[in-house]
Chain A
Amino acid sequence: MRDPDRMTTDLLDTRTERAPDAPAAPNPSPAAPNPSPGPAVTYVPQTTGRIDIEHLNVYYGAFRAVNDVSMQITPHAITAIIGPSGCGKSTFLRTLNRMHELTLTARLEGSVRLDGEDINGPDVDPVALRRVVGMVFQRPNPFPTMSIYDNVIAGLRLTGRPKGTDFDEVVERCLRKAALWDEVKDKLKSGGTSLSGGQQQRLCIARALAVEPEVILMDEPASALDPVATLRIEELMAELRSSYTIVIVTHNMQQASRISDQTAFFTMGPDRAGYLVEMDDTAQIFTNPKQQLTEDYVSGRFG
Chain B
Amino acid sequence: MAVATPAVRVARLTGTRAARRRTSTDRIMRTVALSATIACVVPLAAVLFYVTIKGLAALNLDLLTKPSKAEGIGGGALSAILGSIQMVGLATLMAIPVGVLAGVYVSEFSSSRSARAIRFSADVLVGVPSILIGIFVFTFLVLPFKQYNAFAGSVALAVIMVPVIMRTTEEILKLVPGALREASLSLGIPTWRTVLSVTVRTGLPGILTGIMLAVARAAGETAPLLFTALGSRLVNVGNFAKPMDALPLFIYQNAREPYELQNEQAWGAAFLLLLFVLIVNVLVRARSAATRTQ
Contacts and interface: CB of A to CB of B under 8 A. Distances in A.
A binds B: yes
Taking each of B177, B184, B202, which has the highest tally of chain A beta carbons within 10 Å of its own beta carbon? B184
Interface in A94-137: 97, 99, 102, 127-132, 134-135, 137
A216 B190 CA distance: 19
A130 B189 CA distance: 8
Given A135-B186, A137-B179, 14 more contacts: A127-B185, A130-B185, A130-B187, A130-B188, A131-B188, A134-B187, A137-B182, A142-B183, A145-B201, A145-B204, A154-B187, A159-B189, A191-B294, A211-B187
Interface of A: 97, 99, 102, 127-132, 134-135, 137, 139, 141-145, 154-155, 158-159, 191, 204, 207-208, 211
Contacts of A97: 186
A18 to B, nearest CB: 16
A177 to B, nearest CB: 16
B139 interface: no
Contact of A99 (B182, B190, B201): B182
Contacts of A141: 177, 179-180, 182-183
A223 B294 CA distance: 26
A179 B184 CA distance: 22
Given A144-B202, A191-B294, A155 B180 contact: no
Interface string B163-188: 00000000000000101111111111
B65 interface: no
Contacts of A132: 188
Contacts of A158: 184, 187, 189, 193-194, 197-198
A131 B190 CA distance: 10
Q: Interface SS of chain B: helix, strand, loop or mixed?
A: helix
A159 B188 contact: yes
A208 B186 contact: yes
B187 A131 contact: yes
A129 B202 CA distance: 25
Interface size band for B: 20 to 34
A210 B88 CA distance: 46
8 contacts: A99-B182, A128-B188, A131-B187, A141-B180, A143-B198, A154-B184, A154-B187, A207-B183
A97 B193 CA distance: 19
Contacts of A145: 201-202, 204
Given A141-B179, A141-B180, A143-B180, A155 B201 contact: no
A155 B191 CA distance: 13
Given A141-B183, A158-B197, A159-B193, A127 B202 contact: no
